[in-house]
Homo-oligomer: A and B are copies of this chain.
Amino acid sequence: MAPPPPSTTPQVITLVLKVFMFALLLASLIVLVTDTTTVPLDVIFELKVHFDDVYAYRYVLASIIIGLVYSLLQTAFSLYHLATGNRLISGDGGFVFDFYGDKVLSYVMATGCAAGFGATKDLKALADARKLDFDDYFNKAYASASLLLLAFLCAAVLSVFSSYALPKMVNES
Chain A residues packing against B (C-beta within 8 Å): 54-56, 59, 99, 103, 106-107, 110-119, 121-123, 125-126, 156, 159-160, 163-164, 166-167, 170-171
Contact = CB atoms under 8 A, between A and B. Distances in A.
Nearest to A152: B107
Determine how many copies of this chain the complex contains: 2
Given A56-B119, A59-B118, A167-B170, 5 more contacts: A59-B114, A103-B160, A114-B115, A119-B119, A171-B171
A134 to B, nearest CB: 13
Contacts of A111: 110-111, 113-114
Contacts of A156: 103, 107
A55 B138 CA distance: 15
Contacts of A113: 111, 114
Contacts of A125: 55
A59 B119 CA distance: 12
A55 B164 CA distance: 37
